[in-house]
């Protein structure tokens, strides 16, 4: 009897416990209607084993921007293996919802659509985050309608395959998930290739790696590639049409029981197989096991692109077999935050520019920086042969089109023009010399106050007068400067300090006293005032040369914000 009386209690507790245990026992199954929101502590959808998670990750270098992604959830690195929104990241408060029609729908807090998968056909019933790292959308008949494994970003995982036409794309940098320049593709002819593309288009440059798995009627073993496979044990190979295996990673990898694996086309263009101990208490990180190509600096040579590094840059292979990109002396990064990007000369070079300075022979204007075993093999406009090094130097020096001359083989001189592409260090050049032409008097970033500036040739007062009259016509500012000429040092300091303060507070109206014409072109006025303030620097070493001043006034070179002209007087 007592037994029967207990039963309702038991049932009641079972009813309460059931939903709880259903949540705890995650099967990776996400039903239509569920959603995630991008916040600091947003939850994610875990695979049953907890190895992988799908959800929002904050971007480390940008506040309030999140990336819809899949990552290794158990390791400290939380390495991202797939991402949805590299080029349009999601602001804080964005929401991703599993929907029947779109599959996944990512919307901004304002409700604007940011991303959805583009190949979902039919109606989605549920999604699954699998233990292999694949997020898949299924219909009610369990058919797969979309999966992250068929839409890879920069990483492949064990059990993932890539069909002909498949593409893996690098990201832009370690921290920027925008589309990068490198691609891994299984071409329709069965060849697996690595190549750069010319963004923003998808134009593919010449491959810098090719598996060579193409049809060849002469032999059986060259049956074309059909599929790229990354098997459960961590091996990568191409499966040929005749089911033969063309191995890519030959080296023995650790056991999949102890290690995670991933193969990533890194942002520097190297396709790398990595392993990581599964044991989360271990302090190790990803170890590269295999990579292609062997030397990306040498294996890449393109006709219509910059090469591995940006234009005018030089690629060299580091000890870890990864490329480093470096600007030659006298050149600096176009985008200082992109170390792998293009370099620009810090000086003006050109025939007009040389003519402007025609008072002196060109040999007085330029120097050569000599780099051994360095070449930009594809930027020639003329080959001089037979030539001596002396003739090579002279010919480039006197040629206003020549940016670099390569002298090698004892008798050959290649003259090259900007922009230089495919720059690399190559010991195979056997001591070949790159003679890089750099302007002597302005071989540094113009008017960077941290760098010394050559002593002005003219007297300071002349400089000021010329600036005044060139710049602002009859404006008050000019008068101030000109009156400077006759005032005591103390008065001059007060006036220029006042001018500088006006500029700093962008109170340019006061400077020109409502000179209508000057205000019409505020940007020009601002440039003029900045130039003027550079010219009245108390420290003579900071003052620009007249030539420089004219270039600044003409707007051919950038004018940096000047420091306070009288730092010592305050
Ligand atoms: C996932 O959910 C769908 C829809 O509710 C269901 O039909 C399917 O059986 C579930 N799959 C698993 C593995 O539980
Ligand atoms: C999540 O973080 C926000 C602040 O970013 C905080 O206000 C909120 O209480 C947190 N929620 C939970 C559940 O921790
Ligand atoms: C080529 O392949 C066919 C079928 O797999 C086989 O019968 C034949 O012996 C092979 N020929 C050579 C030269 O390997
Ligand atoms: C993966 O490929 C390697 C090399 O081809 C092979 O030795 C291994 O047995 C394969 N593992 C699985 C699970 O198929
Ligand atoms: C995992 O870590 C624990 C604790 O540090 C250690 O005892 C264990 O041997 C490790 N297992 C493996 C496979 O490395
Ligand atoms: C983990 O590695 C870092 C750097 O290699 C080291 O400084 C640190 O002591 C290590 N921690 C443990 C717990 O081994
Ligand atoms: C500029 O060129 C001169 C002469 O060639 C050289 O001595 C100086 O070191 C160069 N300055 C910089 C910043 O490269």
What's domain 351-446's superfamily in CATH?
Hepatocyte Growth Factor (3.50.4.10)
Q: Is 318 a residue whose pLDDT tops 90?
A: yes
- What mean pLDDT is predicted for residues 380-408? 95
Instruction: Give residue 464's pLDDT band: very low, low, confident or very high (50, 70, 90).
Output: very low
Pick the CATH number of 2-150 from 2.90.10.10, 2.160.10.10, 3.40.50.10470, 2.40.50.420: 2.90.10.10
Of 315, 269, 307, 319, nearest to 291 by C-alpha is: 269
Two structure tokens written together for 501 = 């303060």
CA-closest candidate to residue 180, choices 189, 190, 168 = 168
How far is it, in rounded angstroms, from Cα 485 to Cα 469? Answer: 13
Alpha carbon distance 291, 271 (integer Å): 5
Give 187-236 pLDDT, tens digit per residue. Answer: 999 999 999 999 999 999 999 999 999 987 776 667 999 999 999 999 99
Confidence tier at 483 by pLDDT (50, 70, 90): very low
Q: Is 19 a residue whose pLDDT tops 80?
A: no
Quick one: DSSP state of residue 302? -
- For residue 254, the model assigns a pLDDT of 85
Mutation to probe ligand 1, out of 27, 124, 126, 127 (largest number of atoms < 8 A from CB): 126
How large a percentage of the chain has pLDDT more than 70?
78
Q: Report whether pLDDT(570) > 50.
A: no
- Give pLDDT, residue 17: 34
255-281 pLDDT, tens digit each? 999 999 999 999 999 999 999 999 866
Q: Is the pLDDT of residue 14 over 60?
A: no
Distances in whole angstroms, Cα of residue 398 to Cα of each of 157, 370, 505 = 56, 17, 47
* Euclidean distance between CA atoms 569 and 226, whole angstroms: 76
Edge-to-edge strand ranges of the sheet holding 135-138? 29-31, 126-129, 135-138, 144-147
Flag whether pLDDT at 98 surpasses 70: yes
| 276-296 residue pLDDT tens | 999 866 678 999 999 999 999
Span 339-359, mean pLDDT? 81
Q: Is the CB of 126 under 6 A from ligand 1?
A: yes
Ligand 2 mutation pick, 38, 39, 92, max ligand atoms within 8 A of CB? 39
421 against 12, higher pLDDT: 421
Task: Locate the domains of the chain by residue range.
Answer: 2-150, 157-293, 314-345, 351-446, 449-559
- Residue 461's pLDDT is 40
Does residue 332 line the site of ligand 7, with CB under 6 A? Answer: no
Least confident of 100-104, 218-222, 464-468: 464-468
Assign domain 157-293 to a CATH class. Answer: mainly beta
Determine the atom of ligand 7 nearest the C-alpha atom of 329.
Answer: 14
Structure confidence by residue, pLDDT tens digits, 73-91: 999 889 999 999 767 789 9
């Amino acid at each position: 009897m007592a037994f029967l009386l207990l039963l309702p209690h038991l049932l009641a507790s079972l009813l309460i416990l059931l939903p709880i245990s259903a949540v705890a026992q995650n099967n990776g199954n996400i039903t239509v209607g569920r959603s995630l929101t991008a916040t600091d502590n947003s939850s994610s959808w875990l695979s049953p084993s907890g190895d992988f998670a799908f959800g929002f990750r904050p971007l480390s270098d940008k506040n309030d921007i999140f990336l819809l992604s899949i990552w290794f959830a158990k390791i400290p690195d939380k390495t991202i293996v797939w991402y949805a929104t590299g080029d349009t990241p999601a602001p804080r408060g964005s929401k991703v919802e599993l929907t029947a029609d779109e599959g996944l729908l990512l919307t901004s807090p304002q409700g604007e659509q940011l991303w959805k998968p583009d190949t979902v056909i039919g109606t989605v019933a549920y999604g699954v985050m699998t233990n292999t790292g694949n997020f898949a959308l299924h219909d009610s008949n369990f058919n797969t309608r979309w999966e992250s494994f068929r839409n890879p970003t920069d990483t492949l995982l064990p059990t993932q395959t890539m069909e002909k036409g498949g593409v893996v794309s690098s990201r832009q940098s370690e921290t920027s998930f925008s589309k990068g320049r490198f691609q891994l593709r299984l071409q329709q002819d069965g060849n697996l290739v690595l190549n750069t593309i010319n963004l923003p288009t998808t134009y593919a440059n010449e491959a810098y790696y090719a598996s060579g798995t193409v049809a060849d009627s002469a032999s059986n073993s060259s049956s074309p590639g059909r599929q790229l496979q990354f098997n459960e044990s961590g091996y990568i190979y191409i499966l040929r049409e005749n089911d033969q295996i063309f191995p890519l990673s030959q080296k023995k990898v650790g056991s999949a029981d102890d290690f995670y694996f991933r193969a990533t086309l890194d942002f520097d263009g190297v396709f790398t197989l990595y392993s990581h101990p599964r044991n989360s208490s271990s302090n190790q990180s990803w170890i590269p096991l295999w990579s292609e190509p062997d030397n990306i600096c040498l294996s890449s040579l393109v006709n219509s692109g910059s090469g591995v590094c940006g234009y005018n840059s030089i690629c060299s292979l580091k000890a870890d077999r990864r490329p480093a990109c470096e600007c030659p002396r006298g050149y600096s990064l176009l985008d200082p935050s992109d170390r792998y990007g293009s370099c620009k000369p810090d000086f003006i070079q050109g025939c007009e520019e040389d003519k402007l300075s025609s008072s002196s022979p060109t040999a007085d204007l330029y120097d050569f920086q000599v780099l051994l075993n360095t070449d930009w093999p594809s930027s020639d406009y003329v080959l001089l042969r037979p030539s001596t090094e002396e003739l090579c130097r002279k010919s480039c020096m006197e040629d206003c089109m020549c940016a670099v001359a390569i002298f090698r083989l004892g008798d050959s001189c290649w003259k090259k023009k900007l922009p230089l592409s495919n720059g690399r260090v190559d010991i195979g050049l056997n001591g070949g010399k790159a003679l890089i032409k750099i302007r002597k008097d302005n071989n540094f970033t113009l008017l960077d106050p941290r760098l010394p500036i050559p002593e002005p040739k003219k007297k300071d007062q002349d400089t000021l007068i010329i600036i005044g009259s060139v710049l602002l016509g009859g404006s008050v500012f000019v008068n101030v400067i000109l009156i400077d000429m006759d005032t005591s040092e103390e008065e001059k300091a007060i006036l220029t300090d006042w001018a500088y303060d006006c500029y700093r507070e962008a109170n340019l109206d006061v400077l020109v006293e409502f000179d209508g014409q000057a205000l019409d072109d505020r940007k020009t006025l601002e440039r003029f005032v900045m130039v003027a303030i550079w010219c009245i620097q108390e420290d003579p070493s900071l003052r620009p040369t007249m030539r420089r001043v004219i270039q600044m006034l003409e707007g051919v070179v950038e004018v940096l914000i000047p420091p306070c002209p009288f730092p010592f007087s305050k």
